[in-house]
């Protein structure tokens, strides 16, 4: 019987549905033919009986085997394990990524279960020199770095192109009002707009519901006198360059009934007053802070705590 072939030449990684995939073996002395076998859903379309075959693959990989044969019968077979390359999806991030100016950004080309990859990053379809790793790190984003980023990934069986992530600077990220919800007091209330980044063409609009006196000074508003009923203060910040907007709001709480700051008359306004008030929990209670006639957690929101516990 002839010896076993020493090697099978051909692709060891294929894609589902690949056609005209060629496998060959060096000729074996004394062999008069060759018997090939392929995975169950693959088909030998040409060359069976010779040292070279052509195969159409289905949806799976598997061993491709060959044995040399002559009049004495087949010799020992040699096999090549052919792996199926999975469907490849390259993901680098969301379609749109909003960042603040100066923020660092890292984009990662994610591709599952495939090894031996080569990467190349592009911005607005222009190759980024030197950016050939699996991740792209951008430090201190500025306007020059806005654009559409994508990555091409070269695998053993082809090159795959990711969808693009559009990196957009939005100075309206992380906008907030400070301080947060307040209990009204006799002195004026001041609220500031806090920004991660200042920018030109910024426009701020303040609204109080119900309406009350607002002294506006750009990113600061003063309520003087303070409201006499519970009030919602809303802020809308607009970037006239981009048309983008950000909003935030705070509540100014005004008790329907007062006199609960030192409910137990120990000289302090602290959490002990709330504990003493809690003995009437969910019971009828005329003149409660919220004015709904019962003691609930809502009442505690209207009581200012300014002293430590226990009372000094």
pLDDT tens digit sequence for 135-162: 999 987 887 888 999 999 887 667 888 8
- Which pLDDT score, from 0 to 100, does residue 23 have? 97
For residue 112, pLDDT beyond 70: no
d(CA 281, CA 279): 5
Domain 96-169 matching CATH 2.60.40.10: the answer reads yes
Write the class of the CATH domain 176-253.
mainly beta
CB 47 within 8 A of CB 10: no
Write the class of the CATH domain 13-85.
mainly beta
Collect all residues with Cβ–Cβ distance below 8 Å to 297 and sequence separation of at least 6: none
CB 8 within 8 A of CB 25: yes
- Which pLDDT score, from 0 to 100, does residue 280 have? 95
For residue 252, pLDDT beyond 90: yes
d(CA 277, CA 257): 14
CB 251 within 8 A of CB 208: no
- Which pLDDT score, from 0 to 100, does residue 238 have? 87
- Which pLDDT score, from 0 to 100, does residue 31 have? 93
pLDDT tens digit sequence for 179-223: 987 888 889 999 998 876 666 678 899 999 999 999 999 889 999
d(CA 60, CA 296): 65
pLDDT tens digit sequence for 84-104: 876 667 788 888 887 877 788
Place of tokens 């018997």: 35
Q: Which residue ranges does the chain devote to CATH 2.60.40.10?
A: 13-85, 96-169
Collect all residues with Cβ–Cβ distance below 8 Å to 126 and sequence separation of at least 6: none
pTM score, two decimals? 0.50
């Amino acid at each position: 019987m002839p010896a076993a072939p020493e090697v099978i030449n051909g692709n060891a990684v294929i894609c589902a549905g690949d056609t005209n995939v060629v496998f060959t073996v060096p000729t074996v002395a004394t062999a008069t033919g060759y018997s090939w076998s392929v995975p169950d859903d693959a088909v030998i379309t040409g060359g069976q009986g010779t040292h070279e075959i052509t195969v159409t693959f289905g949806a799976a990989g598997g061993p491709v085997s060959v044995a040399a044969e002559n009049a004495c019968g087949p010799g020992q077979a040699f096999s090549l394990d052919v792996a199926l390359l999975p469907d490849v999806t390259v993901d680098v991030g969301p379609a749109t990524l909003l960042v603040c100016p100066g923020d660092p950004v890292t984009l990662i080309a994610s591709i599952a279960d495939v090894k031996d990859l080569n990467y190349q990053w592009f911005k607005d379809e222009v190759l980024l020199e030197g950016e050939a790793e699996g991740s792209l790190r951008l430090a201190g984003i500025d306007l020059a770095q806005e654009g559409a980023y994508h990555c091409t990934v070269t695998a053993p069986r082809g090159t795959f192109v990711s969808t693009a992530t559009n990196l957009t600077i939005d100075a309206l990220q992380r906008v907030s009002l400070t301080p947060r919800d307040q209990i009204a007091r006799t002195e004026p209330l001041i609220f500031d707009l806090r920004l991660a980044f200042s920018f030109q063409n910024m426009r701020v609009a303040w609204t109080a519901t119900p309406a009350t006196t607002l002294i506006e000074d750009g990113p600061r508003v003063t309520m003087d006198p303070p409201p006499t009923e519970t009030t919602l203060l809303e802020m809308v910040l607009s970037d006239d360059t981009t048309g983008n907007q950000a909003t935030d709001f705070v509540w100014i709480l005004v008790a329907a009934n007062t006199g609960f700051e030192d409910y137990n008359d120990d000289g302090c306004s602290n959490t002990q007053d709330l504990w003493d008030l809690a003995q009437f929990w969910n019971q009828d209670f005329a003149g409660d802070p919220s004015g709904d006639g019962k003691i609930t957690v809502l009442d505690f929101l209207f009581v200012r705590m300014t002293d430590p516990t226990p009372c000094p």
